[in-house]
Structure 1
Amino acid sequence: MAMETQDQNGCHTENGSADAGSERKSHHSDKMKSNLVTRLNRIEGQIRGVRGMIEKDTYCDDVLNQIAAIQSALNGVGKLLLEGHMKSCVVERIQSGDREVIDEILVTMNKLLK
């Protein structure tokens, strides 16, 4: 029978599973979830605003500035998630001897930095 564990930063894994590729999940604290959802709701509103700007033929530079603000906000969400992931899930997996997590996080960071 698999045993579920969760650390203070929200990393959640199923240990003791018969198959080696046990499912990894992240369960963030209620405070972190609320923060992320609030940020994402704001970003969603900004995207709707940009759509409205385009529909109203708003000056391109103004639209581009709004897009830059959205990209910055998304980067902020990504940074929060990355920080929590590295402080919890990545550290936990390295401590358990799973060195593949280093390659995984490098691929993820390269995607975020594009």
Structure 2
Amino acid sequence: MNVPNETTRQEMRTRLKRLEGQVRGIQNMLDDDRDCKEIVQQLASVRAAVHSANLFFIRGYITSCVETSDPTDPAANRRVMDELIGLLSKVA
């Protein structure tokens, strides 16, 4: 399945652009020889933002899977559920 909808695609672009700016900011901090504590704080912020973006994206994917599932096909639903569990285990 591809990106669930255009709203999700746009929100992910926005989040990724923000992350890109945060990473560039950290590079600048390194170049400017900023305090290590400040850099670590910014790295933690990037990690949290990546995690949040990941959860947002997975939430949209799960919603799309549930909305398009076929209640008359338990085997297909089981495959989708196994795939979703695999995805969630990657972000846990």
Give the TM-score normalised by structure 1: 0.67
Which one-letter code corresponds to 1:85 in the other structure?
Y
Structure of greater relative contact order (alpha carbons < 8 Å, 6+ residues apart):
2
Number of aligned residues: 89
The equivalent position to 1:76 in structure 2, one of 52, 59, 62, is 52
Q: Secondary structure at the match of 1:26?
A: coil
Q: Which residue of 2 aligns with 1:58?
A: 34
CA RMSD of aligned residues (A): 1.8
Q: Which residue of 2 aligns with 1:26?
A: 3
Kindly state the Cα deviation for residue 80 of structure 1 after the two structures are TM-superposed: 1.1
- Greater share of helix: 2
Residues 102 and 53 of structure 1: CA distance in aligned 2, closer, same or farther (over 3 Å): same
Give the TM-score normalised by structure 2: 0.81
**Percent same amino acid among aligned pairs?**
27
Unaligned runs of 5+ in 2: none
Unaligned runs of 5+ in 1: 1-23
